[in-house]
Amino acid sequence: MPNKIAKDPRIDKRIKDAFGEIDFDSVLDSSFSSREEIMAFEKTEEAKAGQALMEQINNSSHYKEVVPNDGLSTTTKEFVSDPDGNTIKIQYIRPDTDEILPCVYYIHGGGMEISSCFDELYQAWGRCIARQNVAVAMVDFRNARWASSAEEVAPYPAGLNDCVSGIKWVHLNSDQSNIDKNKIIIAGESGGGNLTIATTLRLKQEGCLDLITGMYPICPYIAGYWPLPENPSSEENEGILLTLHSPSDISHGAMVYGVEEFNKKNPLAWPSFCTVEDVKGLPRTYIIVNECDPLRDEGVNFYRLLREADVEAQCRQVMGTVHGTEIFLGCMEVSDETALSIANFCRR
C-alpha cells in the first residue's frame, strides 16, 4: 500500500515532509498465519531491511539536536522482574537537581513488539517531558518481536510483567531517586498506551492502585483487530503511517503478542475488551488521540467506557496529526504541549 501521508489534506505539512515518502509496509508485514512464521521471517534479508529502517527513524541525530540534555541528568538502574526473575533496565531522566519531584513512569511504544527506551527518539521524548520539571522513569520491558536491552524476546505476559514489576520497583525505591512516591503516574504511547492501561488494570487486580495517581495513554493500541465497525477511524485512516488490516482472521499484532489471549478476549492483553466492571475504580485518566490515526476511535471509545464507569477521565484529539506525532518531535509545539500536559497531570 502506498504511503498516504503526502496526499492527505488534513495532515500537517511538517509531518508530510518527514514521513511522506517512507515505505512503512516494509517494517511490519501482515501476511502471516502464526507467531512462529513471523519469528522465522525475522531472519530474512527483507526483515533486516525493515529493522534497519526503524533503526534509522528511532536513532536519528535530529532528536539530540532538537531536545539537548542541558540541565538534565540521565542514569540507568536495573531491577529483577517478578515473577520471571529476568533483569530489566530503567532509564531515569530528570532535572539535574536533588529536588524531590513527581514521576512519570513511561512505557515506550512499538506495538509491544519493537523499540527500546534507549532509542534516541525515546531518550529525547523523555527529556522533553523531564524539562517540564518532573522525573521520568522509562522501563525497557521485554518486547514480543525485536529485542530491547532486555535481550529476551517473549510474548504476553512477559512485557506486562516487566512493566508491573517496574512501577513497583520505582515506588519502593523512590527515596533514593528523589521521587515523590505520592505523585507517580503511568504514561505511554501506542503499544505503551496498551501497557499503561494493562499495568493499571493489573495493579487494580492486585490491590496496588495506591502506587499511582493516574494514567496517561497516548494513541493507545488496544483493539487487537482491525477494521472494526465501532472504530470508524480503523477504515478512514488505514495506511496512514500504520497498515493494520489483516488478510487473515487474526491480526499481525495479536499473532505476535499472543493469539490465545486475543481469542480469550483478555483485557490485560487488549484493553478494548474491558467491560465497565473491569475499569471501575481506576485512577484519573487523560487520553490523547491523533486525528489521522487508524487507532483514534479505540482511544475515544475507551475514554467513553471510563466515563460510563464514573472514572475521572478526559480525552483530547490533536488535529492534523498522525499516530504518535508527539514523540517524533517534528512539530515541537505539539510535543511540548503534550509534555507539559503530562507533567501537569503528574503534579496534580
Instruction: Give residue 21's pLDDT band: very low, low, confident or very high (50, 70, 90).
Output: confident
pLDDT digits (tens, 9 = 90+) for 246-274: 877 678 899 999 999 999 999 999 999 99
Supply the Cα-derived Rg of the chain in whole angstroms: 19
Range in 28-37, 194-203, 265-274 the model is least confident about = 28-37
Cα separation, 161 vs 292, whole angstroms: 32
Tell me what the mean pLDDT of segment 318-333 comes to: 94
Copy the grid coordinates of residue 145.
518481536
**Residue 211 reports pLDDT greater than 60:** yes
- Which of 283, 293, 335 has its CA nearest to residue 317? 293
The answer to whether 329 and 63 have CB atoms below 8 angstroms apart is: yes
CA–CA distance from 146 to each of 83, 150, 155 (Å)?
A: 22, 10, 11
CA neighbours closer than 13 Å in the CB half-sphere of residue 315: 19
Copy the grid coordinates of residue 337.
504541549
Long-range CB contacts (< 8 A, 24+ apart) of 304-307?
A: 305/274, 305/276, 305/279, 306/279, 306/282
Percentage of residues of the chain with pLDDT beyond 90: 81
Q: Which residues of 194-220 are buried (b: 16+ CB within 10 A; e: fewer)?
A: bbbbbbbbbbbeeeebebbbbbbbbbb
**Residue 20 reports pLDDT greater than 90:** no
Q: Report which of residues 25 and 81 the model is more confident about.
A: 81
Cα separation, 219 vs 189, whole angstroms: 6
- Which of 285, 296, 83 has its CA nearest to residue 197? 285
Please report the pLDDT score of residue 27 as a whole number: 54
Domains of the chain: 5-347 (3.40.50.1820)
**Residue 26 reports pLDDT greater than 60:** no
Instruction: Give residue 214's pLDDT band: very low, low, confident or very high (50, 70, 90).
Output: very high
Which residues have CB under 8 Å from 326's CB, separation 6+?
Answer: 125, 189, 218, 288, 318, 334, 335, 338, 339
Cα separation, 61 vs 67, whole angstroms: 10
Cα separation, 43 vs 226, whole angstroms: 27
Please report the pLDDT score of residue 32 as a whole number: 81
pLDDT digits (tens, 9 = 90+) for 267-288: 999 999 999 999 999 999 999 9
**Residue 1 reports pLDDT greater than 70:** no
Copy the grid coordinates of residue 123.
531518550
Average pLDDT, the chain: 94
Instruction: Give residue 25's pLDDT band: very low, low, confident or very high (50, 70, 90).
Output: low
Cα separation, 347 vs 31, whole angstroms: 45
Cα separation, 15 vs 329, whole angstroms: 10
Q: What is the number of other CB atoms lying within 10 angstroms of the CB of residue 54? A: 19
pTM for this entry:
0.96
**Residue 187 reports pLDDT greater than 80:** yes
Please report the pLDDT score of residue 181 as a whole number: 97
